[in-house]
Amino acid sequence: MENIKDVVLEYVINEYLEDDEEELNYDSPLISGGIVDSFSMVSLKRFLENKYKIQIPDDKATPEAFDTVNSIVALVNSFVKK
Amino acid sequence: MGYSERIKSVYQNQLQEIRDKGIFKQERYIHSSQAADIEVEFPVGASIKRVINICANNYLGLSSHPEVIKAAHEGLDSRGYGMSSVRFICGTQDIHRQLERKMTEFLGTEDTILFPSCMDANAGVFEAILTADDVMISDRLVHASIIDGMRLCSAQHDTFKHSDMEHLESKLQLHADKRLKVVINDGVYSMDGDTAKLDEMVALCEKYDAMLFVDESHASGFIGKTGRGTHEKCGVLGKMDIITTTFGKALGGASGGCVSGRREIVEMCRQKARPYLFSNTIAPVVVSGVLKVLDILSQSTERRDKLETNTAYWRKGLSEAGFILKDGDTPIVPVMLFNAKLSQDFSKDLFEEGVYAIGFFFPVVPNGAARIRTQISAAHEIHHLDKALDAFRKVGKKYNILGKTKQEIIEMFGL
């Protein structure tokens, strides 16, 4: 299975970065850092749900849980069937 | 009386933080009517200075037009000053409905409903027509009032990159399962002056069974051959589902706004939109003025044609002087300075030279994209533009930025 971390990072870069010069890593603050606004989180959530065939309840899809690639991966892993 | 020293200090600290960041806003008092030449007191207490105004939304120069003022006087005499009621109790006069009909005709839609402002139209429309089963897909640079309106609505919200049709299409596919989809954008973007690709958006919305919303506040009255707006320019008159616009800019510049579009959508707003239900509508005096504005615009395209000529003259003059402009052909012409402090200093120097234009910087525009936003009007004569160009050249020379590239300006002043 491809590395979830890299899939999420690639998606975030393609989806949210306007400027190619910006750099992101697994711990870059996405929402608190102003890269992803809370509205745009929707597409990320839907992408993850479609890609990994999971359902993330709205009460788990908090700005904190979506704030870094690492925290997103932790969230996804908690729903992916082992 | 719970306003303790502790509470007071919370606000004082917040205000100090705004001052420390250098983004504390101060009003400049104008002692004349809105026009190409205005008399300004700035800073407060300073002697009054006569300057050329190139930062008003008075695109058609109708804010102080004698016929509009006369019509407003007549409206005041015949329909009074206030309504003291919301629309559906006893706050609707014949002229309110008359204006709605005229706007419907002007915009090429099915029906129209007035709102106290376009801010209110944008705040009320989404909640009135959408539910949690629906999705709003908005351009990432839409106006703040649209963002507020979307926040008040329970529908899901997603965004697409500014004017990126491929990205928009991917979002329409992503949300294919939603009951209703609305694509949301501005007709003319107020900070960059670029126009939405409404023709491509109409095609995408037809393909994916979505509605199209456009805020025409910086377009109504002058964009398109007869000034109907961006939809006229893009050749999609009659195909718009929802238009919001304002009477506070080109259409007389007083206040008020509307939602215009599909009959059912307008009717839903009349039943459910909270700013319509819980606030007085536009005062009769303003309605009378806007009716006259629409009369003037239906008689001749002279004013929008003059605006187009003025805009071309202004863009050419600034480009030839060596300034970096945002591409476009609308009367919003941003002069790019990139550095926030430079934009403020430049604005102050222009004022000294008798030209009133404002510098914008983060967070109003992206970081490192500070600018002087200039706005051209049909009220400007060539001598106004020549004098303003002289001032721009003089100040540009002072900072040694004429003919310089973005990179060179950033190297000199930083980001």
Please enumerate in sequence order all residues whose Cβ is within 8 A of that of B283, keeping only pairs 6 or more positions apart, or say none: B81, B82, B83
Q: Is pLDDT of A19 > 70?
A: no
Active-site residue (options: B65, B96, B143, B249): B249
Under an 8 A CB cutoff, do B156 and A42 touch? Answer: yes
Please confirm whether the linkage preceding B363 is cis (ω < 30° from 0).
yes
Integer Cα distance of B411 and B311 in angstroms: 30
Residue A18 has pLDDT above 80, yes or no: no
Contact of B376 with B218, CB cutoff 8 Å: no
pLDDT at A39: 76
* Per-chain mean pLDDT for chain B: 96
In whole angstroms, what is the distance from residue B231 CA to residue B227 CA? 10
Averaged over B138-160, what is the pLDDT? 94
* pLDDT score for B76: 98
Q: If you average pLDDT over residues B117-122, what whole number do you get?
A: 98
Q: ipTM of the predicted structure?
A: 0.78
Work out the average pLDDT over B329-358.
96
Chosen from A41, A43, A45, A56 to mutate, greatest number of chain B CBs within 10 A: A43
Catalytic residue among B178, B218, B239, B384: B218
| Per-residue confidence (pLDDT) for residue B347, from 0 to 100 | 95
Percent of chain B whose pLDDT exceeds 90: 94
> What is the interface size between A and B, counted as CB pairs within 8 Å?
23
Q: What is the pLDDT of residues B247-298, one digit of tens each?
A: 999 999 999 999 999 999 999 999 999 999 999 999 999 999 999 999 999 9
Mark whether B190 is an active-site residue.
yes
Looking at residue A22, its pLDDT comes to 67
Q: Give me the catalytic one of B190, B217, B220, B343.
A: B190
pLDDT computed for residue A82 by the predictor: 57
Instruction: Tell whether A79 is within 8 A of chain B (Cβ).
Output: no
Contacts of B174 in chain A (CB under 8 A): 43, 46-47, 50
CA-closest candidate to residue B250, choices B273, B230, B270: B230
> Above 60 in pLDDT, residue A10?
yes
Decide if A47 touches B, using CB distance below 8 A. Answer: yes
CATH number of A4-77: 1.10.1200.10
Is the separation of the CB atoms in B214 and B187 below 8 Å? yes
Across the interface, do A42 and B150 touch by the CB < 8 Å criterion?
Answer: no
- 3 state SS of B217: coil
Q: Give the pLDDT band (50/70/90) at residue A21.
A: low
DSSP letter, residue A17: -
Q: Which carries the bigger pLDDT value, residue B113 or residue A8?
A: B113
Cβ neighbours around A11 below 10 Å, total: 17
Report whether B255 contacts B60 (CB < 8 A): no
Q: Where are the domains of chain A?
A: 4-77
In degrees and rounded to multiples of 5, residue B387 shows phi and psi of -65, -40
| Residue B175 annotated in active site | no
Q: Which of B140, B158, B161 sits opposite A42 (nearest CB)?
A: B158
**What's the predicted TM-score (pTM) here?**
0.93
Phi, psi (5° rounding) for residue B4?
A: -75, 170
- What pLDDT was estimated at residue A37? 78
Q: Are B220 and B62 in contact (CB under 8 A)?
A: no
Which residues from chain B sit within 8 angstroms of residue A46, using beta carbons? 158, 174-175
Contacts of B138 in chain A (CB under 8 A): 39
pLDDT at residue B308 in the model: 97
Query: Once rounded to an integer, what is the mean pLDDT over residues B373-402?
Result: 98
Option in A18, A42, A47 nearest B157 (CB): A42
Q: Does the pLDDT at position B119 exceed 70? A: yes
Which pLDDT band, with edges at 50, 70 and 90, does B1 fall under? confident
- Per-residue pLDDT, A20: 59
What are B244's strand-pairing partners? B215, B259
Percent of all residues in chain A with a pLDDT value above 70, rounded to a whole number: 90
Tens digits of residue pLDDT in B19-62: 987 778 889 999 999 999 999 999 899 999 999 999 999 999 99
Q: Can you give the pLDDT at residue B106? A: 98
CB contact under 8 A, B158 and A47: no
Would you call A40 and B158 a contact, using CB atoms and an 8 Å cutoff? yes
Q: Do the beta carbons of residue B59 and residue B314 sit within 8 Å?
A: no
Question: Nearest-CA distance from A39 to chain B in Å?
Answer: 6
| Interchain contact B349–A (C-beta under 8 A) | no
How much is the average pLDDT of B141-145?
A: 93
* B197-237: pLDDT as tens digits: 999 999 999 999 999 999 999 999 999 999 999 999 999 99
Q: What is the pLDDT of residue B69?
A: 98
Residues 127-146 of B with CB under 8 A from A: 138, 140
Interchain pair A43, B156: CB under 8 A = no
The predicted pLDDT at position A4 comes to: 86
- pLDDT for the residue B353: 97
H or E stretch covering B115: strand B111-115
What local confidence, expressed as pLDDT, does residue B383 receive?
Answer: 98
Judge whether B218 counts as a catalytic residue: yes
B169-174: average pLDDT: 95
